[in-house]
Amino acid sequence: MNDTNVLAAAASLFHAWTFEKFIPLCTLIGMAGLFVWVIFSAQKREDFDASEFLRDDKGKLSWGRLGAFVCLMTMTWVVFVRTLNDKLSIEELALYAVTWSGSLILLQAIEAWKGSKAP
């Protein structure tokens, strides 16, 4: 591979890198960094244990809970990026709201309807 091809490839890569790609990437990195910083800052307190977020009702570590945190962060990032690009539809926003705020309410309603105690 000669120097001309390398320079042409580098130039095309540089021109493909726009703010429309840079801002969402920085946002995702910032969200992940802020989440880690908050958890580590709170972990310094004696009355806080970050591992409780990742434990199920039996006190066992849960891959599902970790997955839920990753999904929440990813979906929040997607909603943010789609909002920046003016492509967010009302259906997507409603799905986001129902998924992350309405699911616990729905679970409690189902438990109440079945006659058992809600978590």
- Distant-in-sequence, close-in-space partners of 93: CB < 8 Å, separation ≥ 6: 79
Q: Which two tokens stand for residue 118?
A: 């809600």
Which band of pLDDT confidence, cut at 50, 70 and 90, is reported for residue 118?
very low
The whole-number pLDDT of residue 3 equals 64
**pLDDT tens, position by position, 5-21:** 777 777 777 777 666 67
**pLDDT tens, position by position, 43-54:** 888 888 877 777
**pLDDT tens, position by position, 25-44:** 888 888 889 888 888 888 88
* Cα-trace Rg, the chain: 21
Beta bridge partner(s), residue 55: 61
Between 87 and 114, residue with greater pLDDT: 87
In degrees and rounded to multiples of 5, residue 55 shows phi and psi of -105, 145
CA distance 36 to 38: 6
Q: Is 102 a residue whose pLDDT tops 70?
A: no
Q: Is 101 a residue whose pLDDT tops 50?
A: yes
The whole-number pLDDT of residue 45 equals 84
